[in-house]
Amino acid sequence: MNADNRTTDFGFNKVPLEEKVKRVKGVFDSVADNYDRMNDVMSLGIHRLWKRHAIELSGIRPGHKVLDLAGGTGDLTRAFAKRVGPDGQVVLADINENMVRVGRERLTDAGVVGNVDYTLANAEALTFPDNTFDLVTISFGLRNVTNKDEALAEMARVLKPGGMAMILEFSKVSQPLMAKAYDFYSFNLLPKMGKWIANDEDSYRYLAESIRMHPDQETLKQMMLDAGFDKADYLNMSQGIVALHRGWKY
């Protein structure tokens, strides 16, 4: 973000600071109904394995409280709701109303009721009290946040002492040949797939660009420490295509 002229990144473009939220909302308004299907296609289903591994590392137990930021269509929320049980609580939070709507419909249809709440929320300004949640998670959503430092600080604030935050996000590929192939796929094939499946080439071009503008693994780890986490680490998946960052509050 440039503090002088108040612009920020929207993919590879610079936009006025206040305009990014509107543009991101437009992207996810467009893709909401096709979001899960498109994720399956563009990751060859591997996103489900990435998320499953993150869930296994979450340490969630019955009775815990979980905040699923950018919870979207609710696949992580569904898994967490099963693990926390009737005495626990999961909050599916998203800045986009259409994504919350789709998530609520899909979880209700799946019989996930009673321990899940739904709310519209901006990750940069959460309305929850300090020290509320045992786990805060954001999956493939942090790169769309305008001020990531503020969002990370808010995640740390609402986390209970002894709790953990997890950030699952596309990251920097470490192997040069794979990085080259990944770039070709992202900028040549992915937008075409978006046009074919969702009739929306521009939104998927933005998704590819937003991944490249996201902080790399070490940078994000340091940002978490600067934002108030007492300890942070990360685990690369698929040669760094995705990284799982974890932060602890003591």
For residue 56, what pLDDT band results from cuts at 50, 70 and 90? Answer: very high
**6 or 242: which leads in pLDDT:** 242
As a whole number of angstroms, the distance between CA 162 and CA 169 comes to 23
Give residue 42's pLDDT. Answer: 67
How many percent of the chain have pLDDT more than 90?
63
The pLDDT of residue 25 is above 80? no
Residue 157 identity (one-letter amino acid): R
Span 63-86, average pLDDT: 95
Give residue 195's pLDDT. Answer: 84
Phi, psi (5° rounding) for residue 217?
A: -60, -50
Q: Are 163 and 136 in contact (CB under 8 A)?
A: yes
Strands 13-16 and 7-10: antiparallel
Neighbour count for residue 146 (Cβ, 10 Å): 20
- The total of structural domains in the chain comes to 1
| 114 occurs within a structural domain | yes
Could you tell me the CATH number of the domain that includes residue 104? 3.40.50.150
For residue 2, what pLDDT band results from cuts at 50, 70 and 90? Answer: very low
Phi, psi (5° rounding) for residue 218?
A: -70, -40
Write out the H or E segment, with its range, that includes residue 163: strand 159-170
Lowest mean pLDDT among 54-68, 69-83, 175-189: 175-189
| 77 occurs within a structural domain | yes
Q: What is the mean pLDDT of the chain?
A: 89
Question: pTM score > 0.95 for this model?
Answer: no
The pLDDT of residue 3 is above 50? no
As a whole number of angstroms, the distance between CA 18 and CA 100 comes to 22
Write out the H or E segment, with its range, that includes residue 35: helix 35-43
| 148 occurs within a structural domain | yes
Read off the pLDDT of residues 84-117 as tens digits, 9 standing for 90 and up: 999 999 999 999 888 899 899 999 999 999 999 9
For residue 163, what pLDDT band results from cuts at 50, 70 and 90? Answer: very high
| 133 occurs within a structural domain | yes
Q: Are 221 and 232 in contact (CB under 8 A)?
A: yes
**228 or 15: which leads in pLDDT:** 228
Report which of 232, 231, 65, 235 is spatially closest to residue 135, judged by C-alpha positions.
65
| 29 occurs within a structural domain | yes
| 198 occurs within a structural domain | no
The pLDDT of residue 1 is above 50? no
Give residue 16's pLDDT. Answer: 75
Domain that holds residue 117: 7-171+215-248
For residue 250, what pLDDT band results from cuts at 50, 70 and 90? Answer: very high
| 1 occurs within a structural domain | no
Token pair 């609580």 is found at 89
Lowest mean pLDDT among 26-30, 86-90, 105-109, 165-169: 26-30
Token pair for 91: 């909050």
Residue 155 in 3-state DSSP?
A: helix
| 196 occurs within a structural domain | no
Read off the pLDDT of residues 170-216 as tens digits, 9 standing for 90 and up: 999 988 999 999 899 888 888 888 888 777 788 778 888 888 889 99
How many percent of the chain have pLDDT more than 70?
90
Residues 6+ apart with CB under 8 A from 22: none
DSSP 92: E
Give residue 6's pLDDT. Answer: 72
Give residue 31's pLDDT. Answer: 67
